[in-house]
Structure 1
Amino acid sequence: MDDDVEDYLTVATAELGAAKRILTEAIRDYPTPISGCDVQFNHLLSQRKAVDRALSALRSEPFIPTPRLPDQGLRVESR
């Protein structure tokens, strides 16, 4: 089962990387001049930022909090 999850994460990372490359090319090839109110250009930047955040989330180690008292009735700490 863990291999399946890793496979999916690998595919997701590869697909997001491809999306980022496509967006970066679209931004690079966007016709000049670019004004601050260019909605289409700003949308491309927004999409690239969203892809960056998704890639960062996939690559980061999640924080999983664990209770100090695994069984509330026993009053034993889990150290």
Structure 2
Amino acid sequence: MSQLPYEAELETAQRALERARELLGAEITDYPQPISGCDAQFVRLISDRTRIASCLRVIEEQPFVATPRVLEPAN
């Protein structure tokens, strides 16, 4: 089965998000210690990590789409 045009764009988005996740992971790993509870920059990094994970989850999911049981309109 050939790829639909939008599927290539979804794959590009997924690769970009995966790369962003890698870069963000490195940023979090390299973040200086100790981290105070009110460190706004670190909180932002954690928030962005959650956003990226959510986006990847949505792209990877195959949502349930209800389909009609009868393929022809009722009369």
TM-score by length of structure 2 reads 0.82
Name which structure has the greater RCO, CA cutoff 8 Å, separation 6+.
2
Larger radius of gyration: 1
RMSD: 2.1
Name the residue aligned to 2:60. Answer: 59
Alignment of 1:1-79 (within 5 A): 2-66=3-67, 74=75
Q: Which amino acid aligns with 2:53?
A: D
TM-score by length of structure 1 reads 0.78
Q: Which whole-Å CA distance do the structure 2 matches of 1:65 and 1:35 have between them?
A: 48
Structure 1 outlier segments of 4+, above 4 Å: 67-73
Gaps of 5+ in 2: none
2:50 aligns to what SS in structure 1? helix
Gaps of 5+ in 1: 75-79
